[in-house]
Structure 1
């Protein structure tokens, strides 16, 4: 038997023992949506996460949603009144945000290898381009209508993070010692300098690591500002807030992070006194709201081991298969949807419908007995799920999505 991660708070069982997603019993939701595989997102969980952030964090810290975590249009629309801006990583994300939220909130565009910008969009009132290199500035600069922030490749990373994005040679950002020169070029070209963007890592559950990263980021922003001789209008502190996926994971202590950040900002360098600060979050806001529901289509025993073969797979939920950044494969939280909370009865492996041994969604976990036709629920599917998976792999069918 192998352990599973903790099922996120906010999910409960109905009177008949079925998993509830929002106000829906999972079997009813599947039927209403036309079947499985289905990603279901609970808006109440997202709203609660945003409220937790607001209650904990210093009021001067703005909250941005990193759309790459989950660009499902109804979810992005639901987030618009809950956040202060959107951080984007592609043209499609930009067009999506413009369609569902207009230009009502500030947006920033980050990522290496950006495509050429359409003049009407680059001139949009609240679009900031986060420059990843001096070459991007040369490509995008036109003059007074341009708005640039500089993404900084810091001399530090987020310790213990799932994905380190600072403190090493990187395609992300401008090395910190070259940033002042680029800021001067922006100003001399007559463009608007919007500030600095520092993203040192992601998926950390260690409050002390996030605290240390935020302190170092504020100090680095102060050093860069002092060398340039200008106050950055905004400093994006990045994110890095993780969620529990695996056995033994504990939630990030937001209270400790908030208390330390309040102290850090109150003692920030004088040149940053009028600077606005932003935290961009994707996974932490939406990761726990999502459930991937997939139906058992075969139950088989091979050499004494029981397999539940489902109609979904890694082409929809790559991360649960362990092929999205895990060094050692571990199990996401999993349940039998119509027997939610029932006592485990048997050890099974949940495998997808793809013709590859990589398509393993849960390995040797203890679950209540499930038969052909029953739905398996895989949790923590709200971020880096469908759009972070190879949806056309082996030409399998598409998954449905719904926000409830």
Structure 2
């Protein structure tokens, strides 16, 4: 009988979206052992398509109908996930030429793909112009490069201006605006810049105002989005005086986070959606035809994935029990604490084939690498594990495999699967 994991009182770290049978974790209806047999070995990432689909559906139901949902591929560029989301969102944001080609191969219209990032090469710019993708330009120099490249190709380039606003998203895990930033053009520079844009070579489609990521404070997000729409109102009004074509969209970025650590609570999406409806009314009354885009990555896929590694040794060193696994930071840098954490905290972890048990112990879980940084979990109390048991790291669907140094110390290849 399959039970909801919340009923396992001894495994409260297990996110409620996952199921289990006979004290063993299931994903996509399969046990961890069967997934290992399917793939051939551990370590692996496994992603649950049903969890992703349900997450997108619940978000769409909560958000105002005036908001269009895009997926930021950088969160997880695994092709099957991108293909799945191509059927569920209205557009993609990409951060490289490789991601752009991946997005185009899903059948997503080029008009619904944006290309952001502060270091685009001429090759990136040329490819985007040829494909018809919209470049989110990040500096005056980049605008000149885009215009010159478009002229050489005898094409018009689609652009949107990425703005570095004066405000920032408070309580965010990573701030992307306010102060000096490599991202976007400073808000105060735009009144002089916009009238001088090379409109003969570009189509100015909109503005991208992205202030921060991984935020669990709904009121902070709402405050920032209100400021975003106020700034967008000023910029669109200014641009319309000079732009020969209309402004198509405003990309408000994302910022919606997922809980990783103890005492963190999920965002109240119903509350967020209701308040956004109110905030949008004034903006849409002025710009009814301007599309409002919410661009999300981690929020859509982060809690749908697990990282699974196997215990290959167990030892005690001066009173500390260690589980040594065949996977580690080279596959999951964020979980090791070396991808943005100031003070390392444990992701939710479990012994995947022993979700609960009478015998429990405190252990530190480490990987196979010759570095003390290779930590999967530090001093966690779990059911007593033995060699060949599975260690599962939850909340691993975003910034996992693609954000990790997979070739570090030349360890065996990592597997991924969408079930």
Q: What interval of TM-score do these two structures reach, taking the shorter chain for normalisation?
A: over 0.9
Residue of structure 1 in register with 2:260 after alignment: 245
Paired residue secondary structure (2:283): coil
Between 1:267-276 and 1:205-214, the stretch displaced more is: 267-276
The change in CA–CA distance for 1:105 and 1:334 in structure 2 (over 3 A counts) is: farther
The change in CA–CA distance for 1:342 and 1:151 in structure 2 (over 3 A counts) is: farther
Aligned length: 400
Deviations 1:93-135 (A, max 9, x none): 112122233537710000011121364641324x100000010
How is 1:30-45 mapped onto 2 (pairs within 5 angstroms)? 30-45=36-51
Contact 2:86/2:108, CA 8 A, preserved across alignment: no
The change in CA–CA distance for 1:272 and 1:187 in structure 2 (over 3 A counts) is: farther
Residue of structure 2 in register with 1:388 after alignment: 403
Query: In angstroms, what is the RMSD of aligned CA positions?
Result: 1.9
Matched, 1:57 2:63: yes
Which residues of structure 1 form unaligned runs of 5+? none
Residue of structure 1 in register with 2:324 after alignment: 309
Q: Distance in 2 between matches of 1:163 and 1:119?
A: 30
Residue of structure 1 in register with 2:8 after alignment: none
Q: 49, 60, 72: which one pairs with 2:78?
A: 72
How is 1:33-182 mapped onto 2 (pairs within 5 angstroms)? 33-101=39-107, 103=109, 106-116=112-122, 117=124, 119=126, 121-125=128-132, 127-141=133-147, 142-143=150-151, 145-182=156-193
**TM-score with structure 1 length normalisation?**
0.95
Structure 1 runs (4+) deviating above 6 angstroms are: none
Q: 2, 20, 27: which one pairs with 1:13?
A: 20
Contact 1:131/1:148, CA 8 A, preserved across alignment: yes
Q: Distance in 1 between matches of 2:110 and 2:186?
A: 32
Q: 1:343, CA displacement in angstroms?
A: 5.5
Q: 1:340, CA displacement in angstroms?
A: 2.2
**TM-score with structure 2 length normalisation?**
0.91
The change in CA–CA distance for 1:104 and 1:268 in structure 2 (over 3 A counts) is: closer
How is 1:255-294 mapped onto 2 (pairs within 5 angstroms)? 255-268=270-283, 271-294=286-309
Paired residue secondary structure (1:295): strand
Contact 2:137/2:161, CA 8 A, preserved across alignment: yes
Contact 2:63/2:273, CA 8 A, preserved across alignment: yes
Residue of structure 2 in register with 1:195 after alignment: 206
